[in-house]
Structure 1
Amino acid sequence: MNIRKHGLSIGIERVGSDFFLSFKAIGKLTHEDYEIITPMIDSALTGIRTPKIKALIDATELEGWELRAAWDDFKLGLKYGAEFDKVAIFGNKNWPKITEKIGSWFITGEVKYFENQEDALDWLDK
């Protein structure tokens, strides 16, 4: 039996004195994932009291998106892009670097790709 995990976990983490959203994407995201993810993101962002949000995206296990899921992700970027101050993406594949470039089109803050979590956290903390 071959079970393939996919989805997105969301959390609010603290590093030093800063609070920020963290996302961990796993597998190939589907439209059905976004039907579950979107209300969770809405809820998480509603609870943030700072004017700008810092986010950490762990893409080490992300394999990509189905076409309709990519559209869902695009719509989320349009909806919340102005709320983000910094977005750090870390992973071990080439495509997150492309995501960094595309994400910067929809997010008013800075978007940067890192090879490891520690460097990403250091950048967010500055």
Structure 2
Amino acid sequence: MITHKHGLSIGLQRVDKEFYLYLKAIGKLTHEDYQIITPMLDKALKEIKEPKIKALFDCSELEGWEIKAAWDDLKLGLKHGNEFDKIAIITNKSWLEIGAKISSWFISGEIKTFKAEKEALSWLNK
């Protein structure tokens, strides 16, 4: 039996004195994944007054989205886009680099892609 691991995990990560919202996407994301993660993210961000969040998004194992999940991702970006200061995306896929440029139209903070976590964290700390 073949299993396909997929999903989106979310947490806080501390590097030196800085805290980051840490997200890791694995496999092909589904609408059901967003039904679970969206309320958790909404609740966490609701508690922060005047958020200016720095996020580290590891997409190194992301394979893509189902159509409905891509729509969910866009809605989530539109809802919370003004709450981010910087988003560093770790990826080696050119289609995600293009997606990051498109996402920057909907998010007030800076978005940049990186091949390695060390480079991403260095940029987030600037």
Shorter-normalised TM range: over 0.9
Residue 91 of structure 1: CA displacement? 1.3
In 1, the alpha carbon distance for the partners of 2:21 and 2:49 equals: 12
TM-score, normalised to structure 2, is: 0.94
Which runs of 5 or more residues in structure 2 are unaligned? none
Residue 16 of structure 1: CA displacement? 1.8
Counterpart AA for 1:55: A
2:60·2:92 contact (CA, 8 Å) conserved in 1?
Answer: yes
> Which SS does the other structure have where 2:14 is aligned?
strand
2:50·2:83 contact (CA, 8 Å) conserved in 1?
Answer: no
**TM superposition outliers: structure 1 runs of 4+ over 4 Å:** none
**Percent sequence identity over aligned pairs:** 64
TM-score, normalised to structure 1, is: 0.94
May I ask how many residue pairs the two structures share in their alignment?
126
Which residue does 2:113 correspond to in 1? 113
Residue 11 of structure 1: CA displacement? 0.4
2:7·2:28 contact (CA, 8 Å) conserved in 1?
Answer: yes
1:34-49 matched pairs, under 5 angstroms: 34-49=34-49
1:13-92 matched pairs, under 5 angstroms: 13-49=13-49, 51-92=51-92
In 2, the alpha carbon distance for the partners of 1:25 and 1:111 equals: 17
Which residue does 1:123 correspond to in 2? 123
> Which SS does the other structure have where 2:92 is aligned?
coil
Which runs of 5 or more residues in structure 1 are unaligned? none
In 1, the alpha carbon distance for the partners of 2:19 and 2:49 equals: 10
In 2, the alpha carbon distance for the partners of 1:118 and 1:50 equals: 28
In 1, the alpha carbon distance for the partners of 2:102 and 2:94 equals: 14
Counterpart AA for 1:13: Q
Deviations 1:75-122 (CA, angstroms, capped at 9, x unpaired): 000000000000000112212201210110111010000011110011
Counterpart AA for 1:117: E
| Alignment partner of 1:101 is 2:101 | yes
In 2, the alpha carbon distance for the partners of 1:15 and 1:50 equals: 22
Q: Over aligned residue pairs, what C-alpha RMSD do you find?
A: 1.2
In 2, the alpha carbon distance for the partners of 1:48 and 1:120 equals: 24
In 2, the alpha carbon distance for the partners of 1:44 and 1:63 equals: 26
